[in-house]
Structure 1
């Protein structure tokens, strides 16, 4: 008991000081640093792939223009994609070994090109240290909009709804790099729906913005 009383006598003054300091400074003040890079007029040039069809893969060239109203909201006014299609080994084997082609399959509707427009929401912006020597600035965004898809077999145009997400890595105020993954839900008629997955990597040129 004697030792316990001695410990309490030493602890009580320290606890009293801590309580007094807490009363004098009841809350901590934090500040959020302003983002270093801002977007305004964005021109994107990119390449990509349409990877999810079993009978063909598309190698794509992409271009788009985006107007950024604020740090978090923008309008991808126009985007265009051209696809150079290569048949897969599965289709080659079917035609060579079994003398059949999947002409009745929905996968025969190969994408030739697409044009569309999207709204862009960028809720996340941050920076991180790379190898403790370089600071990388980045943002993540979501997008959604509409697309007109040109298919080769039907020879016609089909409407689609586009949704996706992306990541932007800033190199400077004028140049950044974008990685986009989107999915176009294509309404091909006769109650059929095709999904066209697109993976794209591009260089974005930013005009008219200030740091």
Structure 2
């Protein structure tokens, strides 16, 4: 069917804008000039894009909060003594007497009010061993040794543990330890405390320190050095003097309850 010429002209003018609009627009998803959302990109491509993005620093304080959720600034202790009883044995030997060496054995009953402080009742019985220096001094100088003969002691001590740590033992296990200081007062029995003079116990004070190792949750092994001071008058012809006994000792203790539960502050 032949249409008038002006009809063809009208249709050409009508379709020209539609053709131009279709050429200007591209099918959806083919515009590569804009970045695609991560949901539309493959997983490996999205991961590479995240790695290449710059890291935005956190504001002040935010990093501390983030790390605090994962890392504890102070690790918990591996051995706790708070609110536990301690029963121990000790084997002391004097180190400051050239004439009469004193060796003995003793015991300790302590209660730990805190992990770093305990109150202990400590006692010991001593046996004196005469050295060759006694015979030599008496034979050469006909002298009388003004030395107190210590028989035993009973002391009430406060024990403070300011240092705590751990060491590797034989490269395969960790042993916890602490360093302690002690001081207190009590009574000492010497040769003048019994017959014939019967003066009774002498008031005394002591101080010292040492180190304790905890191989088990209920066991402690310690070594220390303790000095005991007390007044005594070994012979009546001489005035009373302050006697000084320094003893090194090894000990072992058992804690009750045998186990402990760590409570975060």
TM-score tier, shorter chain, comes to 0.7 to 0.9
Alignment of 1:40-189 (within 5 A): 40-76=84-120, 78-95=121-138, 97-98=139-140, 100-103=142-145, 105=146, 107=147, 109-153=148-192, 155=194, 156=199, 157-188=201-232
Find the partner of 2:255 among 196, 206, 210. 206
Larger Rg: 2
- Residue 4 of structure 2 corresponds to none
- By how many angstroms is 1:151 displaced? 1.0
C-alpha distance in 2 between matches for 1:110 and 1:144: 23
Alignment gaps of 5+ in structure 1: 1-16
Alignment gaps of 5+ in structure 2: 1-53, 234-238
Pair 1:36 & 2:78 matched: yes
C-alpha distance in 2 between matches for 1:149 and 1:204: 23
C-alpha distance in 2 between matches for 1:142 and 1:181: 10
C-alpha distance in 1 between matches for 2:130 and 2:208: 26
TM-score with structure 1 setting the length: 0.79
- By how many angstroms is 1:24 displaced? 5.5
C-alpha distance in 1 between matches for 2:228 and 2:104: 14
RMSD: 2.5
TM-score with structure 2 setting the length: 0.64
The answer to whether the Cα contact below 8 Å between 1:149 and 1:159 also exists between their aligned partners in 2 is yes
